[in-house]
Amino acid sequence: MNKISVIIKREYITRVRKKSFIIMTILAPLLMAAIITVPTLIMMSQGGEFKKIAVIEDSSDLFKGVIKNTKDAEFVYLENTKVEDFKKTFEKEGYYGILYISPELVNTPNAVQLISKQQPAIGLLQHIENSLKKEIEKQKLLAYKIENLDEIMKNVETNVSVQTIKIDSSGVVKKTSTGIAMALAYLFGFLMYMLVFIFGAQVMRGVIEEKTSRVVEVIISSVKPIQLMMGKIIGIALVGLTQFFIWIFLTVGIVTVLKTTLLPKSNVAEISQSMPQNLMSGNQQDAATTTQTTEMSPQLAEFSRLFDSAMNQPWGLIIVCFIFYFVTGYLLYASVFAAIGSAVDNETETQQFMLPVTIPIILALMVAMGTMQNPESSLSFWCSMIPLTSPIVMMARIPFGVPYWQIGVSMVLMVVTFGAFVWMAAKVYRTGILMYGKKTSWKEMWKWLRYSG
């Protein structure tokens, strides 16, 4: 055991001192913080360049004044102007583009064109489409000669927003958000995929480097092959956990700093006032929170609601499960990568062995993406039980709520399977690590696995 600890220490210190480790440890939180804060800043921004758009209709004023001006765009309705002639001069006259509306628009949905020398923003197109759509619907209703149609339309216009509530076995009520759950499912599933694959591949490369440089021959004279393999696997696992926890702390710190420096103080104050005093309480508190959020602007109310939903996630269970599935999933795949690395003389020869190993990982990621749409599907359930795919798929299911018995069964299967994989990989490793100059095949590795000497 003392020899394994020496190997673990060597692997750990050697890798955390590399420039690549330091650079990735710093860049990853900056990237994560940018992903979190940039969309918020874009939503808070005042928009892009102000656009002046000429609106031209053919021989009718059916849609005149329908499209209202916004803070980012002004719509100027021109009369007695031909589109073909105005195409040549609109930019010189200070217009961003020409909106041509054909009289056939009532019956032909695509009979409207926005002519511009730049690609228009999606928000501008949606504003135009929604304005024209409402006007066409209004004109069609007018054909039925309904009195007080404008007043009726205002009265019947209704927005619906479904609020999701979860009730646990003890009757405690919590606000949730399917959007937050989907975001967390994607984040944790993809992060698990990246960590298991990247650090597992590092084990394979490390074994190949030691084998090709003949350093392993010296090391094997002092330690057993199984001790060398386990020391390398555990050492790199600790490197991965170290980097993961540093990422968490740096990301939280960077986001906090950006939020306090870039968001207006008044907004932060309103958000803090709207947050409930205790996120784990029940109905009365939810009612109080709802009252507070209705007094804020829609953007702040939505931000507060999403924040509450995010805080109501089972973070203790998520963190514990993430650490467990990372460690066991990594040990499972890293042992296979170590066995492959011991069986070849260079990285080029690993291609024939990598496909059967990467297929389950890629399949798990694909199922995890589908899990965001249907977390209770049979495919998601079974893939969260099968050890080769469960680390990724189970982490995608947990934000949606998974029965504890399913998590327990999955964990037991993971422990048994990674133990079996480590045992088999050790038998291949002890033979392959000292084999040189011979092309290895799956048949050859099966013989090493059965060798009992």
3-state secondary structure labels for all residues of 318-375 = HHHHHHHHHHHHHHHHHHHHHHHHHHCCCHHHHHHHHHHHHHHHHHHHHHHHHHCCCC
Between CA 396 and CA 123 the distance in angstroms is 32
Among residues 315, 320, 274, which one has the least CA distance to residue 296? Answer: 274
Q: Report the distance separating Cα 226 and Cα 42, nearest Å.
A: 53
Share in percent of the chain as helix, strand, coil (round to 5): 65, 5, 25
Alpha-carbon distance of 382 to 357, in angstroms, equals: 19
CA dihedral 104, 109, 114, 119 (to 10 degrees): -160
pLDDT tens, position by position, 219-243: 777 788 778 888 888 888 888 888 8
Q: How far apart are CA 358 and CA 186, in angstroms?
A: 19
Is residue 244 within 8 A of residue 188, CB to CB? The reply is no
pLDDT at 43: 56
Which structure tokens are listed for 290? 């709802």
User: Distances in Å between the alpha carbon of 272 and those of 170, 173, 180, 221, 268?
Assistant: 29, 21, 19, 63, 6
CA atoms within 13 A on the CB side of 308: 33
Q: Does domain 51-146 have CATH number 3.30.1360.170?
A: no
Query: Quick one: tokens of 429?
Result: 């490793």
pLDDT tens track, the chain, 453 positions: 677 888 888 888 888 888 878 887 888 777 766 766 666 566 555 455 788 999 988 767 778 888 888 888 899 998 888 888 888 888 888 899 998 888 787 777 788 889 888 888 888 888 899 888 888 888 888 778 777 777 887 787 777 666 666 666 666 666 666 667 777 777 788 888 888 888 888 888 888 888 887 777 777 777 887 788 888 888 888 888 888 788 778 877 776 776 666 555 444 444 444 444 443 444 444 444 444 444 444 555 555 555 566 666 777 888 888 889 988 888 888 888 888 888 887 777 787 788 888 899 889 888 888 887 787 888 989 999 999 999 989 888 888 888 889 999 999 999 999 889 888 888 888 888 877 777 777 788 888 887 765
Where in the chain is CATH 3.40.190.10? Answer: 51-146
166 in helix, strand or coil?
strand
Phi, psi for residue 114 in degrees, rounded to 5:
-110, 110
d(CA 322, CA 191): 10
Residue with tokens 């968490």: 248
pLDDT at 285: 44
Give the residue among 241, 206, 281, 247 at the shortest CA–CA distance from 36. 247
Of all helices (H) and strands (E), which one includes residue 38? helix 19-44
**Cβ–Cβ under 8 Å, residues 17 and 238:** no
